[in-house]
Amino acid sequence: MPPPSRLFLPLLLAVFLPACDRGTTPVAPAEQAPAASGPAPVAISLQDVVETEPDYIVGISFPQSAAKHAGLATALKAYADAARNDLMQAVAGLKGQKPTAPYDLSLQFTGLVDTPDVVAVAADGSSYTGGAHGNPLVARFVWLPKTEQMLTAQALFPNASAWQVLSDTTREQLATLLSQRLDADDLEGAERAEQLKSGSRMITDGTAPKAENFARFEPVMDVSGRVRALRFVFPPYQVGPYVDGTRTVDIPARILLPIIAPEYKALFIGG
User: Residue 136's CB: how many other CB atoms inside 10 A?
Assistant: 16
Amino acid at 206: G
Q: Are residues 54 and 171 in the same domain?
A: no
What is the distance between the alpha carbons of residues 67 and 182, in angstroms, rounded to a whole number?
Answer: 44
Q: Are residues 133 and 213 in the same domain?
A: no
Q: Are residues 196 and 79 in the same domain?
A: no
Q: Are residues 126 and 235 in the same domain?
A: no
Cross-strand bridge partners of residue 249: 232
Domain span including residue 253 = 154-267
Q: Are residues 70 and 160 in the same domain?
A: no
Angle between helices 189-206 and 160-184 (to 10 degrees): 160
Q: Are residues 135 and 187 in the same domain?
A: no
pLDDT tens digits, one per residue of 121-142: 999 999 999 988 899 999 999 9
Q: Are residues 10 and 138 in the same domain?
A: yes
Residue finishing a domain among 116, 151, 186: 151
User: Residue 35's CB: how many other CB atoms inside 10 A?
Assistant: 19
Residue finishing a domain among 86, 121, 151: 151
What pLDDT is attached to residue 45? 85
Q: Are residues 131 and 171 in the same domain?
A: no
Q: Are residues 184 and 58 in the same domain?
A: no
Task: Provide the CB-side half-sphere exposure for 19 (13 A, CA).
Answer: 14
State yes or no: pLDDT of 221 exceeds 50: yes
State yes or no: pLDDT of 15 exceeds 60: no
Better-scored residue on pLDDT, 240 or 6: 240
What pLDDT is attached to residue 18? 41
Return the closest-CA partner of residue 215 out of 237, 241, 235.
235
pLDDT tens digits, one per residue of 150-172: 999 999 999 999 999 999 999 99
Residue finishing a domain among 132, 151, 170: 151
Q: Is 109 in contact with 80 (CB distance < 8 Å)?
A: yes
Q: Quick one: DSSP state of residue 185? A: T
227-231 CB contacts, 8 Å cutoff, 24+ apart: 227/118, 227/253, 227/267, 227/268, 227/269, 228/252, 228/253, 228/268, 228/269, 229/253, 229/256, 230/256, 231/26
Q: Are residues 14 and 126 in the same domain?
A: yes
What pLDDT is attached to residue 4? 42
State yes or no: pLDDT of 249 exceeds 60: yes
What is the distance between the alpha carbons of residues 167 and 251, in angstroms, rounded to a whole number?
Answer: 11
Q: Are residues 51 and 12 in the same domain?
A: yes
Q: Are residues 30 and 147 in the same domain?
A: yes
CATH of the domain at 178: 3.90.640
What pLDDT is attached to residue 136? 96
What pLDDT is attached to residue 181? 85
For the chain, the domain total comes to 2
What is the distance between the alpha carbons of residues 57 and 147, in angstroms, rounded to a whole number?
Answer: 38
What pLDDT is attached to residue 91? 96
